[in-house]
Amino acid sequence: MEIKKKQINVVLGPSGSGKKELILKELKLENYPDLYEEKYMDKTLDEVLSEKTKHKKKKEEALQMIHLSLDALTKKMTEFSLGEMKKISIAYTLCGRESTYVFLYPDVGLDAKSKNSLIKVFRLLKTRYHKTIVIVSTDTNWVHQFADFVFVVYNRNVVLEGSTYDVFCNTRNCKKYQIEIPKIIEFEKMVLKKKRKKIGYRNDIKDLIKDIYRHI
């Protein structure tokens, strides 16, 4: 398993496939922190983020990137909702100085607006800060919009890997390894079958709509 440097890497697989364990072992992150542990509950957010950085500006930048108020720094961890805790987990990672940022199921508990904002964060980390991003997720429709490289894990082994195009357009193998085919690809194939019109590969719904108006 070769993580692509300065790219957005996504690890997919059905529930129970061992993708989280595999990536943590691969990156030697067996002690990856769980902010839901009891030891964090009596701490303020500022104290928790201080594990990663002592710089106030760094903490504030991380909160701004995931759209949490700076007032949140003084709150106890028990005061946050599930969705806010997910954002805090992301901010915790962003406070680090690592060259590789790992995000475990960052989309869980977030609404569509927050998910779109998170895509912008990933792209910013890649293009401006030249970070290597590794994301473990199960939402193919979401990751299809921004992933550069995809690993598919099945029975604790990497069974597929390649560019976003190579993996998701191989619908036969996606079905074999229980990977949901992104709806935008299913739509493109339906148009080709019923209208005999080849739209071409797209990972952005806006680009797809433009193609539909041009060719159909």
Per-residue model confidence (pLDDT) at position 153: 95
Q: What is each CA distance from 19 to 58, 146, 151, 192, in whole angstroms?
A: 30, 19, 9, 34
Q: Specify if 166 maps to a domain.
A: yes
Per-residue model confidence (pLDDT) at position 143: 92
Of 2, 3, 7, 4, which Cα lies nearest the Cα of 123?
7
Specify the number of domains making up the chain: 1
Which residue range(s) make up the domain with 132?
8-181
Query: For 179, how many CA atoms within 13 A lie in the half-sphere containing its CB?
Result: 34
Q: What's the CATH code of the domain at 177? A: 3.40.50.300
Q: Tens digits of per-residue pLDDT, 89-105? A: 989 988 988 889 899 99
Q: Specify if 81 maps to a domain.
A: yes
pLDDT tier for residue 197 given thresholds of 50, 70 and 90: low
Per-residue model confidence (pLDDT) at position 78: 92
Per-residue model confidence (pLDDT) at position 37: 83
Instruction: Give the type of residue at 102.
Output: V
Q: Tens digits of per-residue pLDDT, 104-134? A: 999 888 888 889 889 999 999 999 989 999 9
Per-residue model confidence (pLDDT) at position 38: 84
Q: Specify if 201 maps to a domain.
A: no
